[in-house]
Amino acid sequence: MRVLVVTNFTPDDAAPQRGRWVRDQVDEMRRQGLDAEIFEFPRGRYEYAPATRRLRRFLKGARFDLVHAHYGLAGWCARLAGARPLVVSFHGTDVRHWLVGPMSRRLAWRADLVAGVSRALFGTEDKRPGLPLVPGSVVLPCGPDLRRFHPLPQVESRRQLGLDGDGRYLLFPANPNRPEKRHDRAAELAAACDAELLSGGSIEPAQMPLWVNAANAVLVTSDYEGFGMVTVEALACDVPVLSTPVGIAPYALKGIVGTLCAPFDVDIWAAATKPLLDSPDTRVEGAARAASLSAARMAERTIVAYRAILDRA
């Protein structure tokens, strides 16, 4: 089976981790014997038309059994370029955005397979509509690479990052400038708990496991998430996670002692956070749950979906 993956999740200096999850999935599918190629193009409103033209030419000169686009607008590029059969994975902002969301919902009826990275994307979240329940829709997440994300000694992680070994650290792993991630909530919680807030966004992919392991807890304070990759990455490191009930969090955190999945309330969250900060090295039993959502497992799931589409075709 030969598959072309189309994406505009391209990294830059401000977001070096952007799209890492797509590339991890492609790497895993290749390890499992799939012949997969990536067609990438830059982000930006003026990039879609040129990308569609380049992709149309590319598809005329190469044969693929299936095209898999990640993100709604990249899916439109693939659709307009003549990609068939077409799988489109929707990741969150492409569904919840006031302008891009309606375009994604229209595309859902034109794809051969609609894939949300979590079940949450098929429902309303933060008063924003989700994807239509097109017959045959599936949940196809991109999981974390567990060769990178696994438990590391907290003290050693802090030493490598130049952090205080006895510090009280909460990690907000998203870009603080993205309003839907709600950095303001994380800052309010850190102040209430007398903790230092570490913020992500520009952390290099190779360094992210160190930052996760160095933290007393990881915070996901978002209004909405497509999947919520950092929740699973933190669990893979056995690091506590406090999350609003968005994306994968209600499933991923269910029943794991030392985590919290609840609407943001600074008093409730502070009560759950302070014991984590007071402990010398609090860990949770999250690795097994993370393994069920790993890049390898999700690649297997995706390949099964590909085969089903081709069998149907």
- Residue 215 region by backbone torsions, left for phi larger than 0, else alpha for psi between -120 and 50, else beta: beta
Per-residue burial over 45-57, b if 16 or more Cβ lie within 10 Å, else e, is eeebeebbeebee
- Residue 224, domain extent: 154-291
* Count of the separate structural domains present in the chain: 2
* Same domain flag for 124 and 221: no
Sequence letter at residue 5: V
**CATH number of the domain bearing residue 26:** 3.40.50.2000
* Residue 213 forms part of a structural domain: yes
Whether 104 and 186 share a structural domain:
no
pLDDT in tens, the chain (313 residues): 999 999 999 887 778 888 899 999 999 999 999 999 999 999 999 999 999 999 999 999 999 999 999 999 999 999 999 999 999 999 999 999 999 999 999 999 999 999 999 999 999 988 999 999 899 899 999 999 999 999 999 999 999 999 999 999 999 999 999 999 999 999 999 999 999 999 987 788 889 999 999 999 999 999 999 999 999 999 999 999 999 999 999 999 999 999 999 999 999 999 999 999 998 878 999 999 999 999 999 999 999 999 999 998 7
Task: Report if residue 148 sits inside a domain.
Answer: no
Which run of H or E residues covers position 282? Answer: none
Residue 262 domain-assigned?
yes
Are residues 195 and 133 part of one domain?
no
| pTM greater than 0.85 | yes
Position 8 in a domain: yes
298 and 287 together in one domain: no
